[in-house]
Structure formats: C-alpha cells, structure tokens
Amino acid sequence: MDTPRRVEHQQTDRGYVPVYATGTVEQPWASYSKTDHEVWDTLYRRQRELLPSYACQEFLDGVERFGLGDGGIPRFDDLNKVLGKATGWELVAVEGLLPDEVFFDHLANRRFPVSWWIRKPDQLDYLAEPDLFHDLFGHVPLLLNPVFADYMQAYGKGGMKAHAIGPEALMNLTRLYWYTVEFGLIRTERGLRIYGAGIVSSKGESIYSIDSAAPNRLGFDLERVMNTRYRIDTFQQTYFVIDNFEQLFDATGPDFTPIYAKLAQGEAVAAGDVLPTDTIYQRGTREGFVSGGDN
Ligand code: HBI
Ligand code: FE
C-alpha cells in the first residue's frame, strides 16, 4: 500500500496509538504483555492439536508456512514478507471493526485488516468482537492460497458496489461473506472440512460444525446463500459446503446487480430451514435450535 499518513495520536480504550488516515495503526508489538503472548500460545496450541482432522489442508499448510506457532504473538512485518511474496496481500493493524466501506476498500486493494489486540485469559472460548486471534489465526492462513486470495479481493470490490446500491444489497453480500469466509465448509477426499475463519478460531464450533447432527450441511449456491439469514449469537444452524475454492471465485465473477433485484422481491430464508431445491449433505436434527433473531 501507499505509505500511510499518520494523522494523529489518539487515546483509545487500549492506550495511546498512532492512527492513520486509512483507519490503520502500527502493531504496537512491544506493548503486548506476557499474558497476551500466553493467550496466543494457548489458543494456538489448542487449535493446532484439534484442526488436523477438522480443517482443510490449504488452511493447515498456511498455518505452517507462516510459522504461527513459533511462540508468542507474531509480528505483522514478518508475516507480510511471506504474504507479499506469495499473493501480494498485506496485513494492516486496526483497532477493531471498521465502517463497511473502509473494510471493503482494504480488501479491494489486497489489504487485510487485523485487530492488533488479543482477548483476555477468561475469554478463550467466546468474545463478541473479532480480536487478533480470530483475525490472524482464522483469516490469514488462507490468504496464501492464490484462488482464495483473489476471492477475498473480489468480495471487497463487490462490497463497494453493493454499498453504493443500498442496504438490502449490502445485507445479501454480507450473508455471502458470513456463510463462506466466516463459516464455510469444503468437500475433500477426507470428508467435509472447515475453511471458515469463524469456525477455525473457535474450538467449540470446530467440533460442532463437523461432528454434530444438529445443523444442516447444504451445497453452496450463490443465490441461496445471499438469501439466507444468519445467527451471530449461537453456532450456525446451516453450513454451506463448497467443492473447491475455484467454485467460490467463479461464483463472484458475474455482476450481482440482477441477483440483488430478484432477492428484493421475495422473502429471506430462515437460518435453519431446508428447501426442496437444496443439495443436502446432512439434514440437521435441529437439536438445540432457537428460532427468530437471525439476520
Ligand atoms: N471490519 N476490521 C473489520 N473486520 C471485519 O471483518 C469487518 C469490518 N467491518 C465490516 C465487516 N467486517 C462486515 O460487516 C462486512 O463484511 C460487511
Ligand atoms: Fe472474521
């Protein structure tokens, strides 16, 4: 990216940090405490032990190539040397969630925003906002995969367009991100595996998404996904399964404008529903499902 212009220092919840015009900061690596590094090591070890039989090989390969388990919180500068050479992506440090259009602009320019701060030891299993472990361990390994890396950029470009069209189009596109980048499953020779960042960064949902009989596991279909509400407060009721990353990238080739117009005419599908037109890998037992409150 262009050298960011440092606009000012700002007092934030997490201390005094330089803020750039792009909403990015410098990763304040020296300010991480011993506890912060221990939280990273604990979460890393837990997922690294679990994921060989749950995550897709592309994800596992990425974790190894970055050396995410070398001990302590990684330095973004080190990761960027590997990432830049591999796919031309760059990690930028941020305080947290960015306005949609700022987030999309980063992705469209192959910059991935990563929250620089890490959760506290009493939040290992759940926290409401994305932290360093979710953003870095969850999202970044697959940015080494050229096809997935291109999909993320295409999503960013699509986001800028959807933002200009209006809130309903943006909701349709956000559901695509949710059911792929965050909670996607992929078919492999070893059975269904995880590629979604929201799953691989969570021990509980890693196990649930693959082993539980409760949720539906349905074949990926672009329009179906864009029309399906999702839950932010529980494990997902439905996971969508892709055949490969090419399928994902190819789906984002056509202009979404006619799809947005069509979906605006009808009703969205509830998070846990199965339709007659679905490709069903597993029809969930719905055990433990709560109804209502999905987006
Ligand atoms: N900002 N830093 C950050 N990370 C995200 O994942 C993110 C965001 N802003 C908006 C957003 N995600 C989503 O709501 C978009 O996919 C629409
Ligand atoms: Fe995420």
β-pairing, 238-242 with 280-282? unpaired
> Which residues, at least 6 apart from 185, have a Cβ–Cβ distance to it below 8 Å?
192, 193, 194, 195, 196, 209, 210, 217, 239, 240, 241, 242
For 123-158, what is each residue's pLDDT tens digit?
999 888 899 999 999 999 999 999 999 999 999 999
100 close to ligand 1 (CB < 6 Angstrom): yes
pLDDT above 70 (res 3)? no
Mean pLDDT of the chain: 93
Local confidence band at 12 (pLDDT 50, 70, 90 cut-offs)? low
d(CA 196, CA 56): 10
Q: In a mutational test of the pocket of ligand 1, which residue from 19, 25, 103, 175 has the highest number of ligand atoms less than 8 Å from its CB?
A: 103
For 62-113, what is each residue's pLDDT tens digit?
999 999 999 999 999 999 999 999 999 999 999 988 988 999 999 999 999 9
32 close to ligand 1 (CB < 6 Angstrom): no
103 close to ligand 1 (CB < 6 Angstrom): yes
113 close to ligand 1 (CB < 6 Angstrom): yes
> Which residues, at least 6 apart from 111, have a Cβ–Cβ distance to it below 8 Å?
1, 89, 90, 91, 92
Do residues 79 and 111 touch, judged by C-beta distance below 8 A? no
Atom of ligand 1 nearest to the CA of 96: 2
102 close to ligand 1 (CB < 6 Angstrom): no
Local confidence band at 233 (pLDDT 50, 70, 90 cut-offs)? confident
pLDDT above 60 (res 18)? no
Quote the ligand 1 centre to 277 CA distance (angstroms).
Answer: 31
Residue with the smallest CA separation from ligand 1 atom 16 is 174
Question: What percent of the chain lies above the pLDDT cut of 70?
Answer: 93
Which pair of structure tokens corresponds to residue 205? 């949902």
d(CA 44, CA 31): 20
For 156-189, what is each residue's pLDDT tens digit?
999 999 999 999 999 999 999 999 999 999 999 9
Q: What is the pLDDT of residue 6?
A: 47
Every domain of the chain and the residues it spans:
23-282
d(CA 228, CA 217): 13
Do residues 94 and 115 touch, judged by C-beta distance below 8 A? yes
Local confidence band at 13 (pLDDT 50, 70, 90 cut-offs)? low
DSSP character at residue 292: S
Q: What is the pLDDT of residue 22?
A: 67
Q: In a mutational test of the pocket of ligand 1, which residue from 19, 100, 136 has the highest number of ligand atoms less than 8 Å from its CB?
A: 100
pLDDT above 90 (res 269)? yes
Which pair of structure tokens corresponds to residue 117? 């701060």
Residue with the smallest CA separation from ligand 1 atom 2 is 97
Specify burial of residue 188 (Cβ count, 10 A radius: 0-12, 13-18, 19+): middle
Quote the ligand 1 centre to 102 CA distance (angstroms).
Answer: 9
CA distances from 124 to 38, 43, 135 (A): 11, 7, 14
> Which residues, at least 6 apart from 29, have a Cβ–Cβ distance to it below 8 Å?
73, 75
d(CA 250, CA 252): 5
CATH number for the domain whose boundaries are 23-282:
1.10.800.10
Ligand nearest to C-alpha 155: 1
